[in-house]
Chains A and B, each alone.
Chain A
Amino acid sequence: MKNLNRYGYAFIAPFWIIFLIFNIYPVALTFYYSFTNYSGSGTAEVVGFANYQRLIADSYFVEAFFNTWKIWGVNFALQIVIALILAMIFSDARVKMKGLSFFRSIFYLPNLITVSSVALLFGILLDWQHGSLNMVLMNIGIISEPINWLNQPTTAQLSVSLILTWMWFGHSFIVVMAGVSGISTDFYEAALIDGANRWQTFTKITLPLLKPILLYIMITSLIGGLQLFDLPMLLTDGIGSPDGSLNTMVLYLYNQAFKYNNYGYAAAVAYGLFIITVIFSAIVFKSMYGNERKQARRV
């Protein structure tokens, strides 16, 4: 047996060598830089917590924080509502909708496309004077004046939210559907016999039983959303215009490091972002499972 144990180490060795060099070391090095004033060349001077103090007081970072939340929040609310409505339609035993796999594929398609292509595409589709969207909307008669989508803070943020919704609701729909099909039909039969209507069935059976799946969607979406970068980077000028409304946390990190050479400060931004991600994931997790424990205790 002793002989075989050695093989265990051999099998996992390549993974750990590469993991240490290209994953753990960079994370540790970034941590070190976050306490220095490193500027990409020369030597790094240790400055203590100065970068973190600056981070908390930095209005641009705070702005990026709220922008990221606003853009993600609107997108998530829309995406999950659409996904739930679709799941409700396709899982209804009384209506029996057909074409699930067809619609599922079409709805999912935008998710596969390279984000930078999506950003570029919408960048020109949403163009103020020559964009096809404004032309179509004006042809139909919904608007009389072209809307300057990407040049006003509110519409720019809304545009990014809607693009994200467009990209992600199909994915959420697939995951929700997977959860719904895992719910035993016994529950629905019982509800039918008890004379529950659709809404009651949905809120009292489907939603509570979908909780773990919804939690999974929310946390993965949150982690992805807090890292929003490609869209705001390529949709406008790369620094978060108009009026800094598309300035997200990772975009700020990127620009601080690779545009302004503030490596030390950018490292602190990275760790700030990491701490925020951990805190909010924990809050989401707690709020969804904490309630359950309380309810269980009451019973």
Chain B
Amino acid sequence: MIDRSEIENNVTPEQLAKRTLIPQEKKMKKRRSLVKGIIYALLILTAIICFIPFLMMLVNATRSNDAILTGFTLIPGTALMENYRTMMEYVNIWNGFKNSLIISVLVTLLTGYFSALTAYGFAFYTFKGKNFLFVFMLVMMMVPGQLGLIGFYELCKNLGILDTFIPLIVPAVASPFVVFFLRQYIQTTLHPSLIEAARIDGASELRIFHTVAIPIMMPAVATMSIFTFIGSWNNYIMPLVILFSPEKYTLPVLMGFLKGSQVAQNLGSMYLGIAISVVPIMIAFLFLSKYIVNSISAGAVKE
């Protein structure tokens, strides 16, 4: 009896539609599958439009400058190695890759660790001025990065850290949004009694953080780390302002440098340079796409 009423309640719209299907509507059903086909075709077309710039990039990266100038085809050329040599003569793209990787990895580690530390401090201790500091942090979260750009540049000049990686890495210790996200997360996932238990066992506060809080926070830290990494990897204006020496350029700045260099004369090499900066991200996305998509959904709904 109970089972039956439950089934009744769980009727999905399609089932409902099926149940009310009368013979005359069979024609409509046929029409529906036609419409469905058209929609699929349009979706595939949209997907192709999404992907075609990348495809053009990949194909053109293998073609010689002369071939690109005369016309476009989707058949790959044979000038890949030649393009590569031309590009490397003027711009060492792997160096930019290395710089970007060093900065992004360190930024991600610093942001993850110190944001967790701060979030834990905000969530599990009561101290004077806590609420004020938290609200102040939230307000500062709304301030766009460009607001302090000029002051930031001056500060770095006075500290003598222009043209180093320090201004691009160290500020990652303070990431208000990540702190906010992690505090919300740990407040719902870590029960204070667990901390009390650890205290009774004689663990120090920092040890409790490392052995109890961090493992529990890990999924949220991982989610945030993806976006921290991407944000740092793609950051353009900061390294553009801070770095002067081409050998220190990050990949995005190097892209701008590529455009102004001799390489721009050879379109094949240009395409290849862009492709090298793009393909690793595409490969990473292949493995992480589901995770990234879920993270975006979760982030939006929670707010």
Question: Interface of A with B (CB < 8 Å)?
Answer: 4-12, 14-16, 18-19, 21-31, 33, 86, 89, 93-97, 99, 101, 103-110, 112-117, 119-125, 130, 132, 135-136, 139, 166, 170-171, 174-175, 177-179, 182, 185, 188-189, 192-193, 213, 216-217, 223, 226-227, 229-230, 233-234, 250, 253-254, 257-258, 263, 266-267, 270-271, 273-274, 277-278
Indicate whether B84 reaches chain A with its CB closer than 8 angstroms.
no
Question: Interface of B with A (CB < 8 Å)?
Answer: 11-14, 16-17, 32, 35-36, 39-40, 43, 46-47, 49-51, 53-54, 56-57, 60, 68-69, 71-72, 114-115, 117-118, 120-122, 124-128, 130, 133, 137, 140, 142-155, 167, 170-171, 173-174, 176, 179, 205, 209, 230, 233-234, 236-237, 241, 251-253, 255-256, 258-259, 267, 270-271, 274, 277-278, 281-282, 285, 289-290, 292-293, 296-298, 300-301, 303
Q: Are B149 and A185 in contact (CB under 8 A)?
A: no
Shortest Cβ gap from B269 to chain A (Å)? 11
Which A residues are in CB contact (< 8 Å) with B255? 114, 116-117, 119-120, 234
Known interface pairs A5-B127, A130-B267, A250-B237; 8 further A-B residue pairs with C-beta atoms within 8 A, sorted by A's residue number: A10-B205, A11-B125, A12-B122, A16-B133, A107-B47, A116-B234, A174-B296, A270-B146
Q: Are A253 and B149 in contact (CB under 8 A)?
A: yes
Q: Are A107 and B236 in contact (CB under 8 A)?
A: no
Select from chain A the residue with minimum beta-carbon distance to B134.
Answer: A12
Which B residues are in CB contact (< 8 Å) with A266? 150
Which B residues are in CB contact (< 8 Å) with A258? 153, 241
Q: Are A113 and B290 in contact (CB under 8 A)?
A: no
Shortest Cβ gap from B27 to chain A (Å)? 15
Select from chain B the residue with minimum beta-carbon distance to A223.
Answer: B144
Q: Are A229 and B237 in contact (CB under 8 A)?
A: yes
Shortest Cβ gap from A275 to chain B (Å)? 10
Shortest Cβ gap from B46 to chain A (Å)? 7
What is the interface of chain B mostly: helix, strand, loop, or mixed? helix
Q: Are B117 and A15 in contact (CB under 8 A)?
A: yes
| Known contacts A94-B13, A108-B293; A30/B147 CB under 8 A | yes
Q: Are B53 and A122 in contact (CB under 8 A)?
A: yes
Contact residue among A33, A107, A179 (Cβ-Cβ distance under 8 Å from B46): A107
